[in-house]
Each structure stands twice: as C-alpha cells, then as structure tokens.
C-alpha cells in the first residue's frame, strides 16, 4: 500500500517546512487499516482490500482488488497556507485497484452512478434518464478544474471557493442549474470530407447530438480516433484500419449492443472527457486492434464484415479503464464487487431525488480550456492548445504495477486501453 507513500503530503507550508511523513502514514493506517483482518477498508466500496498481490496471471497486471491509495478530490487546499496538493493525507482514500483506474481523475461519484446502472441491465434506453443526467452533472462539474495534475497544482483559490467546489464534487449537482456548459468534438481534419449538415448518422446519446452535426464532424471525429489507435492502442502492430472502417464498426456495435457498451451496459456519448464517452478498446489484449471490415475495397454490404477478424470493442471510457488489462475471467467479479459501492462517503453522496439535465453548447476546445483553468495562476498554461493532450496518452503495458492515482499522470480524455 505504501510503495507510493513518497507521494503522500501532510500538513506543510509554502515556505517548504518539513512534516513528519512517518506520522502521516501512521494516521492514515489508524483510520483505514483493520489490525485484526490485516486488510484496508475501501473508502468507496463496502469491502476490505489486501495490500499484497497474489501470483500474477499470464498477460495481466495483477488482481483488480489490490488496495491502492487514490487522490479522492481533484486537489486539496490547505486552509492555513493556501497550498494546493494532490496526494495530501486528507485527500487520500484507499480503494481497489480497478476502482482507482476506472475513476481516473473524474469525480468519485461516477462510481456510484455506474453501480446504479447495473440495476438497469435489461431496461430500455428511457430508464437511463437519471443515470445519464448524473453522469452529465459530474462531467460538467469536473470540467471546471484542469485534468492535468501539473495544471491543478498551479491553482490559486480561497477557502470559500474551495468549499463551494467540494460541495459540488460531493453532491454531483451543478450549483447553477442554468449554467451553459461548453463542450467540443474531438476532431482531426479528414482527408476527404463531405461538408454540410446532411443527415450524418449519430450513434450515441441522441440528446448530445450537436445541432450542426454533419459528415464533416463525423469523419473528423473518426479520423481523430484512428490517430489514437494508430499512435497508441495499436502501436506495436501495423494498423490495418481507416476512419471509415472504424465508423462502420462503431455503427455495427451500436446496433448489435442496443447503443450501450457490453461491460456495464451504459449508453455512450461523443462528449470528450466524459465517463461515458465512447472509446475503442481491445476485445482481447495482446492482439492487434482490428475491426471486422475490409480495407482498400469498396464496402457496399454488411455481409462484407468478418466478425472473426474483429478485436475492437466500442465501449465507455469508464468501462474501458475499469477492465484495464485484467484477465477476462475477472470481469464478473469486478461487476459483483461494484454492486457494493457505498451510498454516502466523505467524497460522494446519493442524490435526494432525480437529477436535472444540464445545458450544453458546442464551442471551441479553447473555451473549455479557459473554463477549466479559471483558477490557475496568471501567466500559466491557460491558453495551451487542447490538442497537445494527445501526447499524454498511455498504453496499459507501460503502467507500473504499483501506482497511486496513476491516472493523474496523463490526460484522462486520451486514456484508452
């Protein structure tokens, strides 16, 4: 559990005065460690976790249920000094490794929403209205704070503003229900685009369809995901796909799976940095990412799809991260464990009644960047192009086996496993 204890922060000051790291660990242990069972209480799920991994299974990182220290809120403000930190002792929560990975730098209440969605497994889309609204509120609230750790450490905020942030983070409701939340569409200019609002298909949550949706945006979004696949997900192989085959696979799986992912049965959105934003993951790890569609030929009929070739899974980001590269034999155990997500914790609580929808407006990526960096120190990276987040993507094989809140080290909106 404490292989990453070097990241822990205790009460300290801007002048760099030291603190007793041993005392920090002792206080943390006293709060969370059961000396009888020799296990750690999970802060988010009603369970206890071991901090020693069993023997590794072939081609997997370790057990998904290993105890892992997580940064509970996006950052912690020490009232006395005004110092911002991430892994402060008051902002560390032990949890299962799969939980730490799946929550990324998102707000922790997303886990409870994912758990509640399990109860809707056999339901039709209309039953997901409140689940979708809760995910959207968490996404809108999280978007007020930078996703990159180095940017969060440059925040300057007073205690009153911090408390207002904490209230939103815990309750999962925008303080201003009328706030217009800006968003953008991940886009890379395609080589041959058909411009215009011309009836382009939109196989995601219909209420998130931009009013100006077109083949230009569709093809640009698929070109963006093709670049991700080629640069990161499939980088150890020759990528034998195209933006067109990727879209055909997205569309095929949308029809095949009823518009939801197969792991948590969640509806998917095209919104960047959203827990249910769609991602292209591996169906089976260790093999090339391939759709079921041929390349370099004209595709005119669905019979041209070869399902045996397909090793791409279209799924939500939270499902993609929750599975990581664990053994497929662990998937049901993960879902069973998730069923025990807590109702109320220090960092999230169950809403009292239905959650209202949010108001969104499509805009430029730089607008969302300015919203997320509103509290950053003047002269910092507030105007950095959002496109350079692509350089922060990771491959699961390159993640260390021992980590603490590992998702803080890369841009969460690019994490695909």
Whole-number percent of the chain with pLDDT over 90: 66
Segment 100-150, tens digit of pLDDT:
999 999 999 999 999 999 999 999 999 999 999 999 999 999 999 999 999
Helix ranges (DSSP H) in 229-364:
243-256, 317-323, 331-338
Residue 274: closest CA among 70, 136, 107: 136
Residue 328: closest CA among 267, 282, 289: 282
**Helix (H) or strand (E) segment spanning residue 276:** none
Which pLDDT score is estimated for 19?
Answer: 57
CB atoms within 10 A of CB 17: 9
Pair 259, 316: CB distance under 8 Å: no
Pair 65, 50: CB distance under 8 Å: yes
Q: Is the pLDDT of residue 342 over 90?
A: yes
Helix or strand or coil: residue 278?
strand
Distance CA 171, CA 175 (A): 10
What would the two tokens of residue 136 be? 């959207």
Of residues 50 and 416, more confidently modeled? 50
What is the value of pTM for the model shown? 0.86
Which pLDDT score is estimated for 234?
Answer: 74
Distance CA 269, CA 315 (A): 10
DSSP 71: E
Read off the pLDDT band of 70 (50, 70, 90): very high
How far is Cα of residue 319 from the mean position of the Cα atoms in its chain?
A: 9
**Helix (H) or strand (E) segment spanning residue 122:** none
Least confident of 43-57, 125-139, 339-353, 382-396: 382-396
Q: Is the pLDDT of residue 393 over 50?
A: no
Which pLDDT score is estimated for 312?
Answer: 94
What would the two tokens of residue 271 be? 């919104």
Distance CA 289, CA 321 (A): 17
Distance CA 190, CA 219 (A): 6
Mean pLDDT of 388-409: 34
Which pLDDT score is estimated for 14?
Answer: 36
Least confident of 21-25, 26-30, 275-279: 21-25
Segment 145-201, tens digit of pLDDT:
999 999 999 999 999 999 999 999 999 999 999 999 999 998 876 655 454 457 899
Distance CA 244, CA 6 (A): 46
Which pLDDT score is estimated for 120?
Answer: 97
Segment 349-368, tens digit of pLDDT:
999 999 999 999 999 888 99
């Amino acid at each position: 559990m404490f292989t990453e204890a070097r990241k822990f922060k205790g009460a300290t000051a801007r002048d760099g005065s030291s603190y007793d790291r041993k005392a920090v660990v002792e206080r943390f242990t006293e709060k969370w460690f059961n000396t009888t069972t020799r296990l750690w209480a999970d802060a988010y799920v009603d369970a206890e976790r071991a901090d020693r991994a069993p023997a590794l299974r072939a081609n997997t990182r370790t057990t998904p249920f290993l105890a892992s220290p997580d940064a509970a809120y996006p950052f912690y403000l020490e009232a006395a000094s005004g110092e911002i930190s991430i892994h402060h002792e008051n902002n560390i929560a032990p949890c299962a490794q799969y939980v730490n990975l799946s929550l990324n730098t998102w707000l922790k209440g997303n886990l409870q929403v994912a758990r509640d969605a399990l109860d809707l497994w056999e339901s039709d889309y209309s039953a997901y209205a409140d689940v979708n609204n809760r995910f959207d509120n968490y996404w809108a609230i999280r978007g007020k704070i930078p996703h990159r750790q180095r940017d969060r450490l440059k925040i300057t905020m007073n205690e009153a503003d911090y408390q207002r942030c904490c209230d939103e983070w815990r309750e999962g409701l925008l303080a201003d229900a009328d706030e217009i939340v800006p968003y953008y569409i991940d886009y890379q200019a395609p080589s041959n685009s058909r411009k215009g609002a011309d009836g382009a298909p939109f196989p995601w949550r219909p209420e998130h369809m931009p009013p100006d949706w077109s083949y230009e945006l569709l093809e640009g979004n698929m070109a963006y995901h093709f670049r991700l696949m080629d640069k990161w997900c499939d980088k150890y192989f020759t990528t034998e796909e195209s933006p067109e085959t990727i879209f055909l696979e997205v569309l095929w799986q949308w029809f095949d799976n009823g518009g939801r992912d197969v792991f948590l049965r969640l509806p998917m959105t095209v919104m960047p940095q959203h827990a249910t934003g769609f991602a292209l993951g591996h169906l089976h790890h260790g093999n090339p990412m391939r759709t079921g569609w041929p390349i370099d030929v004209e595709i005119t009929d669905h019979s041209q799809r070869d399902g045996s070739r397909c090793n791409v899974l279209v799924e939500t980001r939270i499902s993609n991260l929750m599975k990581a590269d664990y053994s497929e034999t662990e998937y049901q155990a993960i879902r069973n464990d998730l069923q025990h997500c807590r109702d109320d914790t220090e960092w999230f609580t169950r809403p009292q009644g239905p959650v209202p929808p949010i108001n969104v407006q499509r805009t430029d990526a730089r607008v969302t960047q300015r919203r997320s960096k509103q509290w950053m120190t003047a002269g910092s990276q507030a105007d950095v192009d959002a496109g350079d987040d692509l350089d922060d993507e990771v491959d699961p094989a390159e993640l260390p086996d021992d980590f603490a809140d590992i998702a803080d080290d890369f841009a969460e909106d690019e994490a695909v496993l």
